[in-house]
């Protein structure tokens, strides 16, 4: 089984929906951390995105996992209030920064 299939099958792909705005964040739980992805923008917060994906043009496995999960309609969804959105983004940014500095 590929890493992509494993991520999808294990429930590592998560959709966070914020109401009432309808904002959506996709998270993939990786080996070392949780990675924020934006499949519409082709963005991931993992190191591979910065060091390989941007130069080679090939999406990282986190983005591929989100795309597969969307196609297969197989992801874990969570609902949050819009009041929690800013705090959630701040936590994501701090986590992403600490991962990149390792």
Going by pLDDT thresholds of 50, 70 and 90, the confidence category of residue 58 is: confident
Q: Are 62 and 6 in contact (CB under 8 A)?
A: no
Task: Name the pTM for this structure.
Answer: 0.86
SS3 79: strand
What average pLDDT does range 56-77 have in this prediction? Answer: 94
pLDDT reported for residue 83:
95
Domain that holds residue 55: 3-100
Number of domain units in the chain: 1
Residue 102's pLDDT band (cuts 50, 70, 90): low
Residues 61-82, mean pLDDT to the nearest whole number: 96
Q: Convert the pLDDT of each residue in 73-89 to its tens digit.
A: 999 999 999 999 999 88
């Amino acid at each position: 089984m590929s890493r992509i299939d494993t991520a999808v099958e294990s429930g590592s792909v998560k959709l966070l929906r914020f109401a009432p705005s309808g904002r959506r964040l996709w998270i993939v739980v990786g080996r070392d951390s949780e990675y924020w992805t934006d499949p519409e923008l082709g963005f991931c917060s993992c190191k591979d995105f910065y060091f390989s994906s941007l130069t080679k043009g090939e999406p990282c496995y986190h983005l591929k996992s989100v795309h597969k999960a969307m196609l297969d309609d197989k992801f874990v969804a969570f609902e949050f209030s819009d009041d929690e959105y800013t705090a959630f983004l701040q936590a994501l940014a701090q986590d992403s920064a600490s991962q990149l500095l390792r």
